[in-house]
Structure 1
Amino acid sequence: MSVRQRKGTDKWCHDYFDGDGKRHQMLYRTKREAKEAEAKIGVELKGNIHVADPSSITVREAGVSWLKACDKLERSTRDQYKGHLENHIYPNIGKTKLSKIGVPFVYEFLDKLREQGLSEPMVRAVRVSLGALLSNAQKHRNVVFNAVKEMGRDSKPKDGRHKKRLKVGVDIPTTAEVRLIIAAAKEGRARVFLRVAAMTGMRASELRGLTWDAIDLAKGTVDVSQRADAYGKLGSPKSASGIRTLPLTPNLIAELREWKLACTSRVFVFPSITGKKTGGIMNHSNIIKDWLHPAQISAGVTVSTGELDGDGNPIVAPKYTGLHALRHYYASHCINSKDDGGLGLDQKVVQERLGHSSIVMTMDVYGHLFPKGNAAAELAAMDAALY
């Protein structure tokens, strides 16, 4: 390898041979840039990980390879990744070579997505997809390092604020709100569904795939062993921890007994009763649109949109947009002390009830809700020990 000034120009040239014996000549604006590149490439060549710029593939080419590697994933997951690629990654950086993607480049790309109006959760989702794309490219020796991974897992906004904690009454419904929502729901499937969701913490996909043979009304338990994806296809939970057995309360058992007599399906607990899927799996969006949102509007569990209707009356919207709010409620009920009307379960039991793959996930989401102990008594003990 050598660094020299190119004759007749103010550019600096770096010549080297790659691991295959192919010669490359790279131009730089300054001698310092050329020397830095020489040092970097020298280390990469020694580690047998160097990818020359001319040999580097584009983000679009890497995206095609990554999607092929995702063939065994669920259809809904693949479609989500494909959407990230086609709607956000390809239009913005699809022609960029992987060798040009460093940490500053990724930060600029994410800022550009925000300028285009993407929500922060969507920006994070696209970032995860880009990181997975680069990891796949690393396996095929198409890129030296994963810039997204180098950024770390820091998800704090640029203004320095910490990740928002879930708040009761904002993200987590209160017990009073859940009572109102269930009471205002349509009788039958809708009411039983919302009650089971709130009293078991099952995910929407698990509730949609719930079958009668998974419920033991005599023992008062429900076995969670399958889920329905966005396309109505049944499969196992996303992780082994998702397979679990949950207890049912006496009142809920009695309500399920009544519902089983009225239910039109001997297979699914909450079957679809309209269209071609009659007796099959409920559509997730229909549950939100027909059950959860109307129940909240009827119960007055709403927030103002800031707009007025034709008669000058305020327009309201459901306070909780998704079914995950009822899962949050169940988690908080498990965590709350018995003095506060909860179950007072420890961290490991809460993890198992929710079907989280690790205790870290449980504590990341709900750790701030666990009791912190009697600080006054603990400080008094310390005071007595040291004085």
Structure 2
Amino acid sequence: MGYVADRWHKTRPEPGEPECGEHKGKVPSQAHGKGKRWQARYDGPDGKERTSLHRTLTEAEREIVKQEAAKLTGSWIDPKAGKIQVGTFALETWLPAQEIGRRTEIEYRGILERYLIPEWGTREMHSVKPSEAKTWQKLLVSKYELSGEYPAKVASKARSVFRLAVLDRVIAVTPFAGVPAPKYDPVAVDPPDLPEVLRLVEAAYHDRWRVMLDLASMTGLRSGELRGLVLDKVDFLNGALRVHQQLVYERGEGLYFADLKTGAGRRVIPLPQEAVDLLAAYVAKHRPPKAGPWKGLLFTMPGGEPVGESTADWALKSICRKARTVPRHWHELRHHYASVLIAGGENPRVVQERLGHKDVATTMRIYAHLWAEADSRTRDVLADARRKARGATMEGTDRKSSASGGRIPESKAPVRALTMVGA
């Protein structure tokens, strides 16, 4: 059990020491009249003593009761833990705790250093208020001019920092509690249709770009996944492609193979026979490296070096100009693949798995409008089919009526109509 100490007076005065002129029967200490008088002292769950200063004896006693009760209920939080600065906790505790690859860690650090630390970096964790959290989220748009899904993406990292602080018993409650997260506002994708994709393939000025374009449209691979594709991950016999890595670039490191961001990214994509034949012909003509760091890499530049992202982007822009289409990015071929699956009637879960999204909500958020278009086409197909059926029924009725003098026996008419609709 804790106890209260009187900082202004000595507990064991020496004989003959002068009495306090302000408090009878007390001997003043060196701290007399400086700061708050009463000190609450108690042991934390770890056995270490904690202290806090208070203006009155009653306040100090209440603090001890509060802390002892918190220990009993398991809700105790070290009052000094929340004094750690937001920037320190974010970079030294939260970031290392994330189960992410090196490239993603660099991305997350960049988000923290650009948007969170400039605003709250030197603030103590416990000092951030919900009103300030709400205002900070608005700054992402008004000050930092983020748009689309980026405000929500950036805010999710800050909210995660404070959630971990709650779990680590640094603070009792996150300042984002009760503050709605920014809504995702992705720009509706407008993927190229198949005729446009075929024009791009036709306009490609090298086998490398032609096959990469065609394969991207038939698999939905991300640029890094496509450029990092190796021969032993293509199952020519069963028509399947195993996605397990990506080619990335890092300043100071150059290009290298890296794990995918999420486990969902590791997936198997069924290949149509056209894609199998396309790859087989390309490999027969352009042999992948048999040794070295890029062993088995399908798409390389002259000399066996991998294709960099900027090089691939430049090539696609040149092809778009030659094909006289709107400028496109490699990711739009991924959207094309998704649109083909959706138009073909694939359900969201299948599309999610093919694209390697971590959850179906991500898939729906990006492609919801394409499903809406598919639903609309389904209604049109059904309506058109029923119109044709009714037209055929009426035509048959007219012929039957003419043959029988304008009258169809009542017992036969319903059977005739049902037969025509069923056909």
Could you state the TM-score of these two structures normalised by the residue count of structure 2?
0.64
Kept in 1, the 8 Å contact 2:243–2:265? The answer is yes
Q: Give the Å deviation of 1:67.
A: 5.6
1:97 aligns with 2:124: yes
Question: Structure 1 counterpart of 2:185, which letter?
Answer: K
Shift of 1:334: 0.6
Mapped partners of 2:211, 2:161: distance in 1 = 42
Aligned-pair identity (%): 24
Q: Is 88-97 or 365-374 further displaced after alignment? A: 365-374
Q: Show the 5 A alignment for 1:1-387.
A: 20=44, 22-24=50-52, 48-50=75-77, 52=79, 55-66=82-93, 69-70=96-97, 73-120=100-147, 121-148=149-176, 150-152=178-180, 154-156=181-183, 163-164=185-186, 166-168=188-190, 172-231=191-250, 232-266=255-289, 267-273=296-302, 278-288=303-313, 290-302=314-326, 318=327, 320=328, 322-336=329-343, 343-370=344-371, 371-372=374-375, 373-374=378-379
CA distance 1:350–1:263, change in 2 (3 Å): same
Q: Give 2:58's aligned residue.
A: none
How many angstroms does 1:15 deviate by?
9.4
SS at match of 1:252: helix
Per-residue CA deviation, residues 336-375 of structure 1 (Å, 9 max, x unaligned), is 0xxxxxx322333323322233333333332342333539
What is the distance in 2 between the residues matched to 1:194 and 1:93?
45
* TM-score, structure 1 normalization: 0.70
Tell whether the 8 Å contact from 1:127 to 1:148 is kept in structure 2 after alignment: no
Runs of 5+ unmatched residues, structure 2:
1-37, 56-62, 290-295, 387-423
Tell me which structure has the larger Cα radius of gyration.
Answer: 2
SS, match of residue 129 in structure 1: helix
Query: What is the CA deviation profile of residues 189-229 of structure 1, one whole-angstrom value per residue up to 9, with x for unaligned ones?
Result: 11211111111111222212211122233433322233334
- Name structure 1 gaps, 5 residues minimum: 1-13, 28-36, 157-161, 303-317, 337-342, 381-387
**Distance across 2 between alignment mates of 1:247 and 1:54:** 52
Q: Which amino acid aligns with 2:277?
A: A
| Partners of 1:74 and 1:123 in 2: CA distance | 23
Closer, same or farther in 2 for the Cα pair 1:66/1:128, shift >3 Å? farther
Letter in 2 for 1:349: V
RMSD of aligned residue pairs (Cα, Å): 3.7
Q: After superposition, what is the alpha-carbon deviation per residue over 1:318-344, rounded to whole angstroms, capped at 9, x for unaligned?
A: 2x3x422111110110110xxxxxx32
Please tell me the residue identity of whatever aligns with 1:112: L
Instruction: Quote the Cα distance in structure 1 between the aligned partners of 2:173 and 2:122.
Output: 19
- Give distance in 1, aligned partners of 2:176 and 2:370: 31
1:246 partner SS:
strand
1:201 to 1:55, Cα distance in 2 relative to 1, 3 A = closer
Q: 1:87-135: CA deviations, max 9, x gaps?
A: 3322221111111223321222233343334322443333222123223
Q: What amino acid sits opposite 2:300 in the alignment?
A: P
The 4+ residue runs of structure 1 with deviation greater than 6 A are 14-19, 40-45
Distance in 1 between the 2:83 and 2:298 partners?
53
Pick which of 100-109 and 368-377 moved more: 368-377
CA distance, structure 1, for counterparts of residue 89 and residue 256 of structure 2? 29
Q: Which range moved further: 368-377 or 345-354?
A: 368-377
Q: Secondary structure of 1:245's partner?
A: strand
- Give the letter aligned to residue 269 of structure 2: L
Residue 19 to residue 48, structure 1, CA distance change in 2 (3 Å): farther
Letter in 2 for 1:356: H
Structure 2 distance, partners of 1:103, 1:296, is 49
